[in-house]
Structures are given as structure tokens and as C-alpha cells.
Amino acid sequence: MTAPIASGWSGCRVGFAPTGKRRLCTAHTQLGHWTSSAFDPDGAPFTLAAGSEAVIVWKFREAFFQWGHMRRREFIAALGSAAAWPLLAHAQQDRVRRIGVLMPYTKDDPEDQQRVAAFQEGLKRSGWIEGRNIQSEYRWYAGDADRARSSARELVGLNLDLILVGAAPGLVALRREARAVPLVFVAVTDPVGLGLVESLARPGGNATGFTFFEFSVGTKLLESLQQIAPQVRRIAIMYSPNSPVQNQYLKPIDAIGPSIATTLIKKPVRDASEIEAAIEAIGREPNGGLMVLPEPLFPVHRKFIIELAARHQLPAVYPFRAFAVDGGLMSYSVDVPDLYRRAAAYVDRILKGSAIADMPVQQPTRYELVINLKTAKALGLEVPSTLLARAEEVIE
């Protein structure tokens, strides 16, 4: 006796044959694979398999084995319904997943392009191929908090399976808009202090990811600048007052300020015109230098900043590798593309069902000191051998 399984899989059939106290069931999937199992009245498990892989484990017990209380047609209907579950689950697993990606710079920025490439490479390693089983919606907010908020609203409105976000302004914007969509963040400093996760070990909520610098990075940038340009006596510290973490970066610098023979001048800036005014002010007097703190606003304007520093002959140190690559004197930074590559593994786990609240926030493991010798020569600086020995990359 056979009957179709009521699951929309027209090629599926089950067979039933009573054999005294034992019952024999067989099943045929649309792939042409058969299986059969015999059961005793005490409730041994029933297994339906497609080929060698079991796709249902079901205990019928009284419903299956009390033959007098269940007609064959009812049994077949129940069996068909049970058989449909794993097939439907398999179909859901195979559907194209839709994710959002909110990037901190601009679409044509080589730095963001490198990060996107690293993320896509990581996805590919986990079996996610763009256009085949995953579809990505990209947005860029160019270091602008207002644009971050509008882009966050757009992405949340698309009903995506997950959103990857770069830097704190983007994550803050998304947390305001989305409390249910899983969020994987990259290069966010102090997510606990910002109230974005409960703890690094157990973030809770709907967000986890990878942190950025420790707040002490400002002192490392300052030390590097003093090593490469010991003649500097006045240093402008450029930061964004709109950033939720900039004050935390400034505290360690304030703490060491009185102990060094250099005047530190804070320069809060919000846009290109204020950046220009700050650099021109420090460039009017001799023996000046420039230190830029981590903030998405600055990489967006990095070529303008590098040009102004060169025009005023200012030794400058930056928190992103792209500055040194584009002609800045020196950078000390986290390997951010590596974070995006690692973030892809978190995206993979979440799309496959891992609980985001139990996935710990991870910290950077790779830092890079990059020195541009061509720029150093143009500024008349001799780079100490000790500093060169520490450099991950030297640009000549």
C-alpha cells in the first residue's frame, strides 16, 4: 500500500506492510532513494532516510503501534506530515540569505574596498557566494552620523537576515533602529562603555563583533611622533567632538601631558573646513606636529589632511594605514581588513543558527606600524633604526 507524502514533493511515496506484531515501512524520495525499517510494538524509533542520511527520527508509540486505534489512512497522513518537516527545513536552509553591510567611508574609497574584499573573501571561505546563496545590500555613511542614521533606517526597512556594520557611529545608529536584527560590528571601540553590549564575554542582545583600539592608543601615537620628530614642541591633537568615544581617547593623553616637554593642543573638528583651520593654526608657528585620533571622519578626508600637513611641513602620525600609504608620514593601526575577514566567520555562524547573545566580542590581534620614508625625507627627518625595526611596512 502506498500514498504520496503531503508535502508538495510529488515524487515522494511511503509504503506500509503489516507483518504480524511487527510493521514494515518503506519510503521513496524524489531522488530515488529507498529505506525500510521494522518496528516492535514497544515503540522503537521510526527512521525515514534519503539515501544514507536520516532525515526524520520519530517515535509513534501508541499512535503508531496501537493499530486498532488508528486506521491506515490516518497513519499515512500523519507520516506524510512528519516527513514534510525536514524537507521544509532543508528548503529554508537553502534559501538565499539577505544581509546588509553598513560601511564607514565611501563606495569608491580604496580602504573600504579592501575591507569589503576581505569580508567577501571570508564569506567565500565559509561557502557563501554572492548572488548564489547570499545577497548583500551595501550602504556607506562617509563618516557622517546623520548619514549613518538614514542608512541604518534604509537597511532595517529591507527586513534583512543580518547586518554587518563598521565603526561606532554606524553601530549606534543601527541599535536605535533595530533591536531584533542580528548585528555584527567591526572596529568599534568600547562597545560595553557605549551600552551596545552587556559584556565582551557575553554580549547579550542582538549585537556582537570585533573591537578596535584600546584607549591608550593615543599615547602610542604620541610616543611614535616624538621618536620620529624629536624637535616638535607643539602638537595639535585632532579629534571629532561628535564621536561617542573621543573623550576616552583623550584621557590617557591628558594624564601624560604634564610629564612631557611638549605642548598638547586639542583641536575638535566636525568637517573639512574645521580640519583646514586646525592644521593651518598649528602650522603658523615652527616646531609643530599633528596627531589624528581614530574617527571615521578623518579617513574620509585623509588626502586633504595629508596635503595640508605637507604644505605646512608638519610631521604627523595617523591611526589608519591608508594615511601612510597615501603619503602621510607614519601610521599605527589595527589590521582592519583582518577584522572584516574574521567577522565573516561570525556572519556564517549566525546565519547557520548560532545564538548571537552567546558569541563573545573579540579584540584585535594584529597591529601595524607603517612608515613612509619618502615623506620623512621631504620633511628632513631621519627615522631612528629602532623605529624602523618595529615597522610592519616601510614605504620608500
Same-domain pairing of 237 and 323: yes
Give the sheet arrangement for strand 13-19, strand by strand: 2-4, 13-19, 22-28, 34-39
Counting beta carbons within 10 angstroms of the beta carbon of residue 387, is it exposed (0 to 12), middle (13 to 18) or buried (19 or more)?
Answer: middle
Same-domain pairing of 301 and 154: no
- 99-144 pLDDT tens trace: 999 999 999 999 999 999 999 999 999 999 999 999 999 999 998 9
Same-domain pairing of 221 and 295: yes
Same-domain pairing of 376 and 314: yes
pLDDT at 7 over 70: no
What is the chain's mean pLDDT, rounded?
81
Confidence grade of residue 289 (pLDDT, cut at 50, 70, 90):
very high
Grid coordinates representing 77 are 497522513
Instruction: Give the span between the Cα atoms of 29 and 72, in whole angstroms.
Output: 20
How far is residue 318 from each of residues 100, 116, 309, measured CA to CA in Å?
29, 22, 12
Instruction: Give the span between the Cα atoms of 97 and 129, in whole angstroms.
Output: 10
Last residue of one domain, picked from the residues 64, 93, 122: 93
CATH number assigned to the domain comprising residue 274 = 3.40.50.2300
Same-domain pairing of 386 and 262: yes
Number of structural domains in the chain? 3
Least-confidence region, from 89-93, 248-252, 258-262, 324-328: 89-93
Query: Is the distance from CB of 98 to CB of 158 less than 8 angstroms?
Result: yes
> Stretch 234-251: mean pLDDT, rounded?
89
Same-domain pairing of 272 and 377: yes
3-state SS of the chain: helix, strand, coil percent to 5? 40, 25, 35
Same-domain pairing of 260 and 279: yes
Last residue of one domain, picked from the residues 27, 58, 93: 93
Among the listed residues 364, 343, 318, 320, the one whose alpha carbon sits nearest the alpha carbon of residue 171: 343
Same-domain pairing of 78 and 191: no
- 200-227 pLDDT tens trace: 999 999 999 999 878 888 899 999 999 9
Say how many C-beta atoms besides its own lie within 10 A of residue 320's C-beta: 25
Same-domain pairing of 108 and 182: yes
Confidence grade of residue 246 (pLDDT, cut at 50, 70, 90):
confident
Same-domain pairing of 255 and 320: yes
Among the listed residues 38, 64, 31, 33, the one whose alpha carbon sits nearest the alpha carbon of residue 49: 33
Range of the domain at 170: 97-213+337-358
Instruction: Give the span between the Cα atoms of 265 and 296, in whole angstroms.
Output: 21
pLDDT at 19 over 80: no
Same-domain pairing of 342 and 270: no
Counting beta carbons within 10 angstroms of the beta carbon of residue 110, is it exposed (0 to 12), middle (13 to 18) or buried (19 or more)?
Answer: exposed
Same-domain pairing of 388 and 272: yes
> Stretch 20-48: mean pLDDT, rounded?
37
Q: Could you please report the per-residue DSSP string of 7-52? A: SS-TT-EEEEEEETTEEEEEEE-TTS-EEEEEE-TTTPPEEEEETT
